[in-house]
Amino acid sequence: MGKAIVTYSSIYGSSRSYAVYLASALGIEAVDIKDSKPSSGCILVHFGGLYAGTMSGLRKAVQLLPPDSRLIAVSVGLSDPGKEENINRIDEVMNRMIPAGIRDRVERYHLRGAMDYSRLSKHHRAMMWMLCRFLEQRKNRSDEDQQLLDTYGGNIDFIDPETADPIAVRVRALLS
């Protein structure tokens, strides 16, 4: 393998925060996926936020991936990646975005992000309002559903940069 490239697609900053942390640990810079030019034989590590059934920037990362390179796709969202049902749901999203022909060159990691309602766009605020109205109607809410309802309109922050350390270990192993 050649070199590592760390990219992100971040609307509110969580994915960028993790990308900058990992890039610093690897001694390189993180770049927005729009400004990225992966080279042959590279390891492309892409951090993208989860928004309404998609992972930000993942399609672009897949398009840019050279045929002899690997992709480490890192989702950043509010769901707890320690719960198998959440990982399964996120993997379904990723599978819709990653062509079957390259899935064997893609590794996946899932990290938790943050949300500050005061920074949300009108569109995202409306989506969160609809989601919360839906969750309020649910009889059997998960702990995460209830947490989302309890923090509606405020802030929630699960960012823990050290949860990206296993990704740094994996990238170094692939480069050696």
Phi, psi torsion values for 106, nearest 5 degrees: -120, 130
The predicted pLDDT at position 164 comes to 97
Question: Tens digit of pLDDT for each residue in 73-87?
Answer: 999 988 888 889 889
Task: Tell me the two tokens of residue 115.
Answer: 């949300």
Residues 6+ apart with CB under 8 A from 63: none
Residues 6+ apart with CB under 8 A from 97: 54, 55, 58, 59, 62
Q: How many CB atoms neighbour CB 53 within 10 A?
A: 10
Cα separation, 126 vs 108, in Å, equals 30
pLDDT at residue 141 tops 90: no
Cα separation, 59 vs 137, in Å, equals 34
Residues 6+ apart with CB under 8 A from 49: 9, 10, 11, 12, 14, 15, 55, 56, 75, 76, 77, 113
Strand pairing report for 70-77 and 114-116 = unpaired
Residue with tokens 């296993």: 166
Section 96-103 average pLDDT? 94
Strand pairing report for 114-116 and 155-157 = antiparallel
Average pLDDT, rounded, for the chain: 89
* HEC readout, 58-86: HHHHHHHCCCCCEEEEEEEECCCCCCHHH
Section 98-113 average pLDDT? 94
Section 156-165 average pLDDT? 91
pLDDT at residue 134 tops 90: no
Binned at pLDDT 50, 70 and 90, residue 44 comes out as: very high
DSSP letter at 149 equals H
Domain architecture of the chain: domains with CATH: 4-113+159-175 (3.40.50.360), 114-157 (no CATH)
